[in-house]
Amino acid sequence: MIDVRPVTYVIGLLVAAMGIFMLFPLALDHAAGNPNWRAFLQASVLCLVAGGATALASANGAGGGMTLQQIFLLTTGVWVAMPAFGALPLILGAPGLPVIDALFESVSGMTTTGTTVIVGIDALPLGANLWRGILQWLGGLGIVIVALLFLPVMKVGGMQFFRSEGFDTLGKVLPRALDISSALIQIYVWLTVACAMTYFALGMSGFDAVMHALTTVSTGGMSSHDASFGVFQGPLEYAAVVFMVLGSLPFIRFVQLAQGVFQPLWRDPQVRAYLRWNLYAVLAVAGYEVLTHDMPASLVLRETTFNIVSTFSGTGFSSVDMSAWGPFPFVVLIIVGLIGGCTSSTGCSVKVFRYLILFEAIKVQIKRLHNPSSVNPLRYDGRTVTQDVVDSVIVFFTLFILTFGVLAVALSLTGLEFKTAVTAAWTSIANVGPVFGREVGSTGAVHGFPDSAKSLMMAGMLVGRLELLSVYVLFMRRFWQN
């Protein structure tokens, strides 16, 4: 039997910490004279009691390290337990959502997907909107730490390639995982503060600046307005582009940057490919829009840049109705959403690293077909990529495509039309945010979806955010055998 005490100990502490974070929206609603603060008080007490009791009950088994089985359980367990408790304020107070809707909103928040079921976001109490932003901010920070410290050890989807880099690159400065986590938190906080100050300086209200900074740096995309980022125009859109891109770059490079090491950031193949591919997508869509619509080029460039980067990074903000752009831009949106950001970032989807490995593997195979006796090692960033990394990447792509297909079919069986089912599967498994189709509300909310569709989407969000394999392995009997 697996000893779950180390796992439940950590989960208990995190749930209790979530109860502490609920004090921020509580204080905001209390200061505004909104009675909704009572919901946050009740939810906070429940989190503190349940989390604290769980941690105390498991403390006697939490002295040593964790086995690989326990790490797998912890990774999935955190992303199940935290959204469950994070949904409490949305059930107990405004907007008073049904359980399934509150869970959907919380899961969408913590996985930084950004799809919402709420209509009338503008009318929500400030605390409720702030809590949605906090959920995304916590989820973005959590996935960065998981991607750097846990996934490489778990050898999920080729992430073992970064195991030595994550620890050896910083080994002389930050030799322990705790130090790496601390450095990441500091970078994450400073990026958020810089984003909020920038938004405020460019005209956002103080609350909107904080709310959108939380959901921009985390590449989550939830907004305090039904119209999303369409409420803001001009320089604010370009400012958001900068911080969405920063949120999609490897955070380990920012830690190096803070230590005075500048070269690795620009030399990183992921970074260069991500920036280059964003530029290609923006130019392709902007060129198409200029040729097919009578609109000022400056307006087209701004709207295209913002919405393409938002989709590419998996943030999911929108400033216009992207489905009205035409068939070619819509295909580009779907493609960039299936690429996503860099590894060790808050970005989502497949990740740039895996595409680079896939392309290199295809090149090597073509060379072998031309000259079977030649030796063509697959290299990435000057390092030889071992076969187990390539195999993991191929398995990840296979599972991603299969999961996407199965989820789309399952969603269509709930009664959703084809386009809606496909884009709902796309946005869930890739954690992108927007859904397109007849059943989607005018504000982009999916409140009208059947509960079965919402449940399937939640499962897709969790599986996609946790890199598929780390969840699927729990359903194998061998995993539970010592």
Q: Is the dihedral of CA 5, 6, 11, 12 positive or negative?
A: positive
Predicted confidence band at 416 (pLDDT cuts at 50, 70, 90)?
very high
Tens digits of per-residue pLDDT, 109-128?
A: 999 999 999 999 999 999 99
Residue 380, helix vs strand vs coil: strand
**Could you give the CA distance from residue 34 to residue 416 in angstroms, rounded to a whole number?**
38
Question: By percentage, how much of the chain surpasses pLDDT 70?
Answer: 96
Structure tokens given for 244:
């969405």
How much is the pLDDT for 134? Answer: 98
Considering the entire predicted model, what is its pTM? 0.95
Residue 175: the pLDDT is 47
Residue 380: phi and psi, rounded to 5, are -140, 125
Helix (H, G, I), strand (E, B) or coil at 383: strand
Considering only residues 395 and 482, tell me which one the structure prediction assigns the higher pLDDT: 395
Give the model's pLDDT for residue 332.
Answer: 97
Strand partners, 380: 383
Query: Which residues, in sequence order, are bridge partners of residue 384?
Result: 379
Tokens for 381, please give them: 């960033």
DSSP state of 386: P
Lowest pLDDT segment from 70-74, 129-133, 201-205: 70-74
Q: What is the mean pLDDT of the chain?
A: 92
pLDDT of residue 407: 98
CA dihedral 68→70→71→77, nearest 10 degrees, is: 150
Partnered with residue 383 across adjacent β-strands are 380
Closest CA to 446 of 461, 460, 457: 457
What pLDDT was estimated at residue 176? 60
DSSP labels, 43-102: HHHHHHHHHHHHHHHHGGG-SS---HHHHHHHHHHHHHHHHHHHTHHHHHSTT---HHHH
pLDDT at 342 over 90: yes
Lowest mean pLDDT among 10-24, 87-101, 255-269, 280-294: 255-269
With a cut of 80, say whether residue 430 has pLDDT above it.
yes
* Per-residue pLDDT band at 445 (split at 50, 70, 90): very high
Q: How far apart are CA 261 and CA 31, in angstroms?
A: 44
Average pLDDT over residues 381-388: 89
Phi, psi of 421 (to 5 degrees): -65, -45
Task: Please say if the pLDDT value at position 170 is more than 70.
Answer: no
pLDDT attached to residue 159: 86
Q: Return the pLDDT at 171.
A: 38
Q: In this predicted structure, what is the pLDDT of residue 274?
A: 98
Can you give the pLDDT at residue 172?
Answer: 40
The single residue listed with the structure tokens 């290199």 is 360
Closest-CA residue to 68 (of 158, 6, 143, 148): 6
User: Amino acid identity, residue 480?
Assistant: W
Q: Is the pLDDT of residue 262 over 90?
A: no
Q: How far is CA 430 from CA 125, 304, 338, in A?
A: 30, 21, 6
**The two three-digit tokens of residue 384, written as one number:** 């030889």
Q: How buried is 295 (Cβ within 10 angstroms: 0-12 exposed, 13-18 middle, 19+ buried)?
A: exposed
Radius of gyration of the chain (CA): 22
pLDDT digits (tens, 9 = 90+) for 129-140: 999 999 999 999
Tens digits of residue pLDDT in 180-189? 788 899 999 9
User: Is residue 278 over pLDDT 60?
Assistant: yes
